[in-house]
Amino acid sequence: MTTDVLDLEGRSVLVTGAGQGVGRQVALDAAAHGARVAVNDFHLSRARATADEIVALGGNARAYACDVTDFDAVRSMVESAASDLGSIDVLVNNAGNAGPSIESLDAPLPFWETAPEQWEPWIRTNFYGVLHASRAVLPDMVKSEHGRIISVISDAGRVGEPHLAVYGGAKAGVAGFSRGLAKAVGRFNITVNCVSLSAIMTPAVADALSNPEFAQRALRAYPIRRFGQPADPSRLILFLASAAGEWITGQTYPVNGGYAISS
């Protein structure tokens, strides 16, 4: 009998956007707790780097390049992962931010000066990406009457950020989608939850957070006076993925150093 409360032995875990940042850490940690890990990223080189790291540490992982905004590509990735590693038991919807291209992180304009095409990468990656991957893994989860879907959202979607209104809208949409889906699939022992983050030190935000003046100002909003590290959310994601989380569904859990505290 294992004493590991986060045990994932025998489980297949798909992590989207796992080539760096939070997703990479979740993939590493899931493998360390015994999971077979499907490492997805838009960039094959990044997915491979994470999968190679896991294998070098003695774990089981395979890399899959695909864009989560492309449903057909997601569906065929899920089919390949199921045949390579076993059908997906745990989906971590982590790919997000402005999508795979840093170019789409335009200097923030007020919403009323933006054009609809500028909203697309945010909505497609953060909202449709979650729908696509969830839709692709669910038939097997329903069949096996077991599953976990955990989506990484943002406090921009819970409390609002003035320059991230569209992103926040997409993330809040994921929380709403997850609540409805949790009710639809609970009878199959499938749980659906969100983990909501504030500033985590990842390549996406490293530049901004390494500016000392900006960092000092930003940290005033954090009762725990440091920015998050990928391991902070990863531990909660693993808890929700493991048997320990089996009676938790339809919820959003902030991991944010106290950035936004509410009842």
Ligand X SMILES: NC(=O)c1ccc[n+]([C@@H]2O[C@H](COP(=O)([O-])OP(=O)(O)OC[C@H]3O[C@@H](n4cnc5c(N)ncnc54)[C@H](O)[C@@H]3O)[C@@H](O)[C@H]2O)c1
Does residue 199 belong to the site contacting ligand X (CB under 6 A)? Answer: yes
Question: CA dihedral defined by 77, 144, 171, 40, rounded to 10 degrees?
Answer: -20
Q: Quick one: CA torsion of 3, 144, 178, 41, rounded to 10 degrees?
A: 80
User: Which of 134/154 has CB closer to ligand X?
Assistant: 154
Neighbouring C-beta atoms of residue 49, cutoff 10 Å: 17
- Whole-angstrom distance, CA of residue 40 vs CA of residue 128: 16
| Residue from 30, 68, 77, 137 in contact with ligand X (CB under 6 A) | 68
- Decide if residue 22 touches ligand X (CB under 6 A): yes
- Among the listed ranges 78-86, 176-184, 191-199, 238-246, the one in contact with ligand X (CB under 6 A) is 191-199
CB of residue 243 to ligand X, shortest distance in Å: 25
| Nearer to ligand X among residue 10 and residue 258 (C-beta) | 258
Cα(90)–Cα(30) distance, integer angstroms: 10
Q: Which stretch binds ligand X (CB under 6 A): 6-14, 83-91, 93-101, 111-119?
A: 93-101
Cα–Cα distance, 198 to 108 (Å, whole number): 18
**Which residue among 6, 15, 19, 78 contacts ligand X (CB under 6 A)?**
19
Q: How far apart are CA 96 and CA 105, in angstroms?
A: 12
- How far from 249 is each of 33, 95, 121, 187, 239, CA to CA, in Å? 22, 21, 28, 11, 12
Binding residue for ligand X, selected from 8, 11, 12, 23, defined by CB under 6 A: 23
Binding track over 104-143 against ligand X, x by CB under 6 A: ---------------------x---x--------------
Q: Applying CB under 6 A, does 95 fall inside the site for ligand X?
A: yes
110: phi then psi, degrees, rounded to nearest 5: -60, 145
97 belongs to the binding site for ligand X (CB under 6 A): yes
Q: Is 204 in the site for ligand X (CB under 6 A)?
A: yes
- The closest alpha carbon to 91, from 173, 157, 162, 13, belongs to 13
Site size toward ligand X (CB under 6 A) is 33
Our answer to whether residue 167 is catalytic in this structure is yes
Pick out residues in 36-65 that bind ligand X (CB under 6 A).
Answer: 40-43, 46
Q: What is the DSSP string of 106-167?
A: PPP--GGG--HHHHHHHHIIIIIHHHHHHHHHHHHHHHHT-EEEEEEEETTTTT--TT-HHH
CB of residue 198 vs ligand X: minimum separation in angstroms? 6
Q: Which residues are catalytic?
A: 167
Q: Which residues bind ligand X (CB under 6 A)?
A: 16-17, 19-23, 40-43, 46, 67-69, 94-97, 99-100, 125, 129, 152, 154, 197-200, 202-205
